[in-house]
Structure 1
């Protein structure tokens, strides 16, 4: 779905490798509430279970995020998508792509995988409706052959959810 397989990814820079290992160690000691990292031997691809917060539309629901870390992380944002089935949300397309500015234009190296996860959970928790973004079917069709969400020119105009 992401268009990036393990064999096509570039080798992590030394800075990226050290940073990712540090974040992973911190996550294992004190994971953000509502998340579970599914342990694999792939440092560049994390699969994280997300549990909907109580008192929200997504309470008692579980989803999976796939986090692909680029060779120059944290100078470059990770690619984060929901695995199928993606939550029904005004900023989450049915193919799992997430329209959230910190994953693209507003990314800073001070952010971590944990802070991204908390932002995504906050986005889910603040939603008052379960609906797909306008133009979902058209967007998903355009991405059909593995287009990365990082190739999308996002318009961040709605900060209500």
Structure 2
């Protein structure tokens, strides 16, 4: 599912375009949040914490998880980094360190996507899971990610569209 890559994105201030876009998305979110999600209010526009509630009728019903969304300087031209905060849900595409193997967070990102559309995709991925289990390479991957490595530094292999 993964192989390593080496490049470390440095933390920079959001561009004016990114700030305007995030302010617009936050306003839309507050006016009409996607079902099953709650934005945890903070004064940091560059990092959002979002609670996600498992959908009724799924393996995750009644469970609540937190997503941490970090926006790069060049958002929306560059995808945000989205990870599950501890504890991450047991899912075949979610590693125990919270990293998510989902193509729209990496190779298939489009500037037309929003935080809301990403959240809905993550909830859909959770909802379609037939089993609560970790990816088969979880232990090796997590060991290789020590020292704060970003999931954006991973060269993901998207081969399983069943969940």
* Shorter-chain TM-score range: over 0.9
Kindly state the Cα deviation for residue 144 of structure 1 after the two structures are TM-superposed: 1.0
Runs of 4+, deviation exceeding 2 Å = none
TM-score by length of 1: 0.95
Q: What SS does structure 2 have at the residue aligned with 1:121?
A: helix
Aligned counterpart for 2:16 among listed residues 14, 17, 39:
14
Structure with larger RCO (C-alpha < 8 A, sep 6+): 2
Q: Which runs of 5+ in 2 are unaligned?
A: 1-7
Shift of 1:43: 0.1
Aligned residues: 155
Matched with 1:59 is 61
C-alpha RMSD of matched pairs (Å) = 1.0
Cα shift at 1:9:
2.4
The corresponding residue for 2:83 is 81
Distance 1:13 1:145 in 2: 27
**Shift of residue 53 of structure 1?**
0.0
Question: Could you report, residue by residue, the CA deviation over 1:53-106 in whole angstroms, capped at 9, with x for unpaired residues?
Answer: 000000000000000000100000000000000000000000000000000000
Provide the C-alpha distance between the structure 1 equivalents of 2:59 and 2:82, rounded to a whole number of angstroms.
Answer: 22
| TM-score (norm. length: structure 2) | 0.94
Deviation string, structure 1 residues 93-133 (Cα, Å, up to 9, x no partner): 00000000000000000000000000000000000100000
Unmatched 5+ residue regions in structure 1?
A: none
Match of 1:33 among 32, 35, 39: 35
Aligned to 2:112: 110
Find the counterpart in structure 1 of residue 122 from structure 2.
120
